[in-house]
Amino acid sequence: MTVQPKAFDEPIYVTKPMLPPLEDYVARLKDIWASAQLSNGGPQHKALEAALGQYFGNQNVSLFNNGTIALVTACQALRLSGEVITTPFTFPATPHVLSWNNITPVFADIDPVTMNLNPANIEPLISAHTSAILAVHVYGTPCDVVGIQEVADRHGLHVIYDAAHAFGTTIDGRSVTDFGDITMLSFHATKLFQTAEGGALVARDATVKRRIDYLKNFGIQNETTVLMPGINGKMSELQAALGMLTLEMVDDEQQRRKKIGDIYRQRLGAVEGVTLPVQSPHFTPSQQYFVTRFNAALCGITRDELFARLREYNVIARRYFFPLCSEYSCYRMLPSAHPSYLPVAHLAATEVLCLPYYGALSSDEAHRICDILLFLMGRGDH
């Protein structure tokens, strides 16, 4: 007889911010107070930019107050216009930055395995108005960067990668930031590496990096010269100080998360109808999220039913991404947003469920989450 699992006493969320010891942060705050510089590229900012440059193996790093402003600036830095081909299977910020730059998003369908933009679906959408491809490394699984670059090269297009989920992802030993013209990273509190709020652009070309730095600081070159219409996208010293400390914790956090992922794979990997995150010897994922897919016909329960029932047990999973960006009222009138053009993305949006995944989650808690999932699917004997 299968025993019904007990609910958690407190909510278990999808993620939890990785925080350094408070006394370590206070020590850096004392340095900031002593310098009396809170913004405008102070000592903490310079230190973090250099540390991230070393981490990525690329010194063309520019820090931002958040990832969205960084992505808006990336479009400006490359002087994009007209149309940009992107994915509907992403956070709303991705198409929004195009709209804020008066660019029309053109949605292409995704790969059924990685759930990233499928290069084969990009080329038919390219027109005389297309200026770039904006692809997303969804859940920290890298895009087909070779395939996307081949399409871009054939048509003279820029490539921007939204790597909000992909801090620490590598492709054949190379940082994910090595690919495309510009890569955006988010350092929001929910991310693996966080500065509470924040982000960065990593440019392949030093000249583009210089333009980015002007653009994020109102276009100011010096006290009397403004070169271009810019924006205020600077990261503060308080954010950078936190980043200097959390950067030291990333490797350990990834290993802790991987152990939780191993439990999920052990308990759920053989369950019919459940698809787990893709693995490959050619890349290392960021360990940002652990996203499963549930086939309703084979699992005996829909993803939405699982989502709702898990909450009864205080497991706060996330339907990430649902609905598709192409379904938002501000985009659904676009020709490329019609569901008939995006069947793979629409199916994924009905199946994906992001499970709790963070280093502070204990093995016992991970096993309890699996017990609950299996019970709800009628597989309590697994």
Q: Is residue 73 part of a domain?
A: yes
b/e code 42-79 from CB counts within 10 Å (16+ = b): bbbbebbbebbeebbebebbbbbbbbbbbbbbbbbbbe
In this model, does residue 176 exceed pLDDT 90? yes
The rounded mean pLDDT for the chain is 97
Packing angle, helices 67-77 and 93-100, rounded to 10:
40
Task: Give the pLDDT of residue 381.
Answer: 57
Q: What percentage of residues in the chain have a pLDDT greater than 70?
A: 99
On whether both 196 and 158 belong to a single domain, the answer is: yes
- Concatenating the DSSP letter of every residue in 101-117 gives TT-EEEE--B-TTT-SB
Whether 211 and 87 share a structural domain = yes
Q: Indicate if 237 and 308 belong to the same structural domain.
A: no
Residue 1 has pLDDT above 60, yes or no: no
Tokens representing 320 are 């990430």
184, 213, 247: which is the final residue of a domain? 247
Residue 4 falls inside a structural domain: no
Q: Do 90 and 237 share a structural domain? A: yes
Residues 192 and 240 in one domain: yes
Is residue 85 included in any domain, yes or no?
Answer: yes
Answer yes or no: do 96 and 190 share one domain.
yes
Are 241 and 44 a contacting pair, CB within 8 Å?
Answer: yes
- Is residue 122's pLDDT more than 70? yes
**Structure confidence at residue 132 (pLDDT):** 98
Nearest to 18 by CA among 164, 162, 192, 134: 192
Residues 167 and 63 in one domain: yes
Looking only at the bridges linking them, the beta strands covering 170-171 and 174-175 are: antiparallel
Is 107 among the domain residues?
yes
Count CB neighbours of 16 within 10 A. Answer: 15
Structure tokens at 142: 């890298």
- Enclosing H/E stretch for 291: strand 290-294
Among the candidates 212, 247, 282, a domain finishes at: 247
**Domain assignment of residue 6, yes or no:** no
Residues 195, 321 within the same domain: no
| pLDDT at res. 382 | 53
Domain residues for the domain of 307 are 12-16+249-376
Q: What is the CATH number of the domain that holds 43?
A: 3.40.640.10
The single-letter DSSP state of residue 334 is S
DSSP 379: -
Domain shared by 132 and 227, yes or no: yes
Domain CATH number, residue 366: 3.90.1150.10
Q: Is 5 inside a domain boundary?
A: no
Residue 379's pLDDT is 85
State whether 88 and 108 are in the same domain.
yes
The answer to whether 152 and 158 are in contact (CB under 8 A) is yes
- Give me the amino acid identity at 215: L
pLDDT at residue 380 is higher than 70: no
Instruction: Report pLDDT digits (tens) over 16-54.
Output: 999 999 999 999 999 999 999 999 999 999 999 999 999
Select from 207, 117, 213, 215 the least CA-distant residue to 160: 117
Which domain-ending residue is among 194, 229, 247?
247
Domain total of the chain: 2
Residues 100 and 229 in one domain: yes
* Same domain membership, residue 316 and residue 211: no
Kindly state whether residue 80 falls inside one of the protein's structural domains. Answer: yes
Kindly report, residue by residue over 303-319, the tens digit of the pLDDT.
Answer: 999 999 999 999 999 99
Residue 326 lies in a domain: yes
E strand or H helix that includes residue 159: strand 158-162
How does 104-136 read in b/e, with b if 16+ C-beta sit within 10 Å? bbbbbbbbeebbbbbbebbeebbeeebbbbbbb
Rounded (10°) angle between helices 343-351 and 303-312: 20
